């Protein structure tokens, strides 16, 4: 193996990594992704929601996890807008409202109108608001993020309290996030909860999924790719590249493989050099 000691000069690794990640993304290669149960559970749940149900979408992540969660949010929001549902957007993290707007700009809203079919309520500052909105949205959100008084919005007139929600789905990268909805919405009022989580949090949520406290988990950007496939299979007008997740999948595979290969190569080099040292003793 080459004598330029890779351990002391990681730049070679970095260059290879850049190449291996950039090529699939720039060439938009697509890889079939097997759909996991946790993702399918979320998809089926949303698919089977009765018409005119209320869905609350919660943006609980910040700008740094945008690459991991924004694809999920985009593709799920697109799914919600394809169905005859009413949607309320809230956020437990301060970056949430801005990211909500970004997602809403990216999807095709069909013939849904703001105020009647969907509304963005904004930031939930503390658990008191989270609990209070289950009884009365208007007193905790007197205006929405666009400044409209919520009492005038048709969607709020139809659903004055979130306790009537058929689903709350939270895209979460930390705390506050899923536990708040589980504690105050699911346990007290039996509102079904779904979660889209970053990869480091997902293992911690599996117990909730196994005990059916949440209806499903979308695990990292991979779930966005799976969801995209599911959605495209049923609604062919949704393009495969909408969330950008599928080409990221290929990049993920190739980068994983590169690291594995490097580790193996490194170990081989290590053993060879050790044997040489022992041989020269």
Partner 1 sequence: MFFTRETFSQGPVLSLLALILTAMMPLAHATAIQGTQVLNVGPAPWDSAQLFRPWVIYDGTSFTMWYGGEDSQGADRIGMATSNDGISWTKYSGKPVLDPGTPGSWDGDSISDASVIKENGQYKMWYSGQTYGATSVDDVFKIGYATSPDGIHWTRYSENPVLTPGSLGSWDDRRVWRPSVISTGSGYVMYYRGAAVAEGSQAKAGVATSSDGIHWTKTTVLTMPAGSSGWDAYSRQVGALNIGGVMRSGNTYIMSYSSIKAQSSTPAQIGVASSEDGTNWTPYPDNPVITYGTSGGWDSGPGGVGAGNFAGSMILAAQSQYYVYYAASGPTGSYTIGVATLPLSVYPISQTTSTTSSSTVSSTVSTTSKTSVTQQTTTTTTPVSPPLVLGGSLPSLIIGRMSQATLLMVTLGAIFAVTRIASKKKLKTRGIPGIERLDKWIQQAGELDRPVLFTPGTGTIQTPDTLAALALLDHVASRCAQFGVRLIVANADFNVHQVTVDMVKNAYKKAGREDLYTEDTVRYISVRQFAYAAGVMGLLRREKPALNVFVGDFQAEALEIAEAGRADAIAQFGGTSNVDQLPFFMATCDQTLVGEELYTAQGYLTDDPQAISRLVGPDAGKTIAILLIAIGAILVTLGNHVLTSLLRL
Partner 2 sequence: MTKAEIILQVIIFSLGFFYAFVYYVRIPGVGLQSAADQLFTYLTSILTAGFAIGIINLTRAHANNVKNRRPIWKYSLILLASMYFMAVASIIASPFSLDPQSTVIPKGVYAVFFPIWQFLYYNILVSINATLFSLLAFFIASAAYRAFKARSLEASILLAAGLLVMIGQAPISNLIWPGFGAIRDWIMAFPNTAGQRGILIGAALGILAFSVRRLIRYPWGR
Q: Which spans of this chain sit near partner 2 (rule: CB under 8 A)? A: 6-7, 10, 13-14, 17, 21, 31, 33-34, 62-67, 94, 97-98, 100-102, 120, 122-123, 126, 128, 143, 145-148, 203, 206, 222, 225, 249-250, 252-260, 262-264, 266-267, 270-271
- Please say whether the dihedral angle defined by the alpha carbons of residues 128, 130, 131 and 134, taken in this order, is positive or negative: positive
Shortest separation between residue 200's beta carbon and partner 1, angstroms: 6
Verify binding: residue 138, partner 1, rule CB under 8 A: no
Q: How far is the CB of 153 from partner 2 (least distance, A)?
A: 14
Smaller CB separation from partner 1, 27 or 212: 212
Among 2, 5, 111, 210, binds partner 1 (CB under 8 A): 210
Smallest distance, partner 2 to C-beta of residue 51, A? 30
122 phi and psi angles, rounded to 5 deg? 115, -155
Other C-beta atoms closer than 10 Å to the C-beta of 156 total 22
Q: Does 99 bind partner 1 (CB under 8 A)?
A: no
Binding mask 38-57 toward partner 1 (x if CB under 8 A, else -) reads ---x--xx--x-x-------
Residue 16: is it exposed, middle or buried by C-beta count within 10 angstroms (0-12/13-18/19+)?
Answer: middle
Contact between 212 and partner 1 (CB under 8 A)?
A: yes
């Amino acid at each position: 193996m080459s004598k330029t000691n890779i351990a002391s000069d990681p730049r070679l690794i970095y260059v290879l990594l850049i190449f291996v990640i950039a090529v699939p993304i720039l060439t938009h290669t697509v890889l079939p992704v097997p759909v996991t149960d946790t993702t399918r559970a979320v998809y089926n749940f949303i698919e089977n929601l009765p018409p005119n149900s209320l869905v609350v979408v919660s943006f609980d992540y910040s700008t740094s996890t945008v690459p991991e969660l924004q694809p999920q949010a985009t593709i799920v929001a697109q799914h919600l807008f394809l169905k005859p549902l009413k949607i309320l957007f809230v956020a437990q993290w301060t970056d949430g409202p801005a990211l909500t707007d970004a997602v809403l700009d990216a999807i095709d809203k069909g013939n849904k109108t703001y105020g009647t079919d969907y509304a963005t309520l904004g930031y939930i500052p503390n658990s008191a608001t989270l609990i209070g909105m289950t009884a009365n949205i208007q007193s905790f959100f007197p205006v929405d993020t666009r400044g409209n008084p919520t009492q005038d919005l048709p969607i709020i007139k139809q659903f004055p309290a979130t306790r009537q929600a058929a689903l709350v789905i939270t895209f979460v990268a930390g705390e506050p996030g899923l536990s708040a909805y589980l504690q105050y919405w699911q346990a007290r009022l039996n509102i079904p909860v779904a979660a889209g989580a970053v990869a480091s949090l997902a293992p911690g949520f599996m117990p909730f999924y196994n005990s059916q406290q949440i209806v499903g988990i979308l695990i990292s950007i991979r779930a966005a790719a799976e969801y995209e496939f599911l959605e495209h299979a049923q609604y062919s007008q949704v393009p495969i590249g909408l969330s950008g997740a599928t080409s990221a999948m290929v990049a993920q595979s190739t980068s994983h493989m590169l690291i594995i290969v490097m580790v193996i190569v490194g170990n081989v080099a290590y053993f060879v050099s050790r044997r040489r040292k022992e041989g020269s003793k």
